[in-house]
Amino acid sequence: MPRPRAIPAPAGTPDPARFFRGLYRAWDLHSVEGIHVAVPKGTAFLAARTLTELARQIGDHTARGTAPERSEVSAAGPAGRTR
């Protein structure tokens, strides 16, 4: 079954991202290629197309001393599982 076409919002309709930010002020909203990620405000957010690039970004933060300590990450709770 074909997907219905998106209907453009009428002029003056609030932007969904602005609406979200207005409702959830304690959260930062990031949009990456149509996927929306919400993280607590001030939380580090890294994104990359490959795991290699992501690891490089983490290494850069570690070298500058801006990465969280391992104990801080562990205290945050168990990491999510992937399949």
| pLDDT one-digit tens code per residue, 23-33 | 999 999 888 77
* Whole-number Å distance between alpha carbons of 29 and 38: 5
| pLDDT one-digit tens code per residue, 41-78 | 988 888 888 999 989 988 988 887 766 655 444 444 44
- How many structural domains is the chain composed of? 2
Domain containing residue 56: 46-76
Q: Which residues 6+ apart lie within 8 Å of 27 measured at CB?
A: 20, 21, 38, 39, 40, 41
Domain shared by 55 and 37, yes or no:
no
Residue 15: its pLDDT value, please?
80
Tell me if 22 is assigned to some domain. yes
Residue 40's pLDDT band (cuts 50, 70, 90) = very high
Secondary structure of residue 59 in the 3-state scheme: helix
Q: Is 21 exposed, middle or buried (0-12, 13-18, 19+ CB in 10 A)?
A: middle
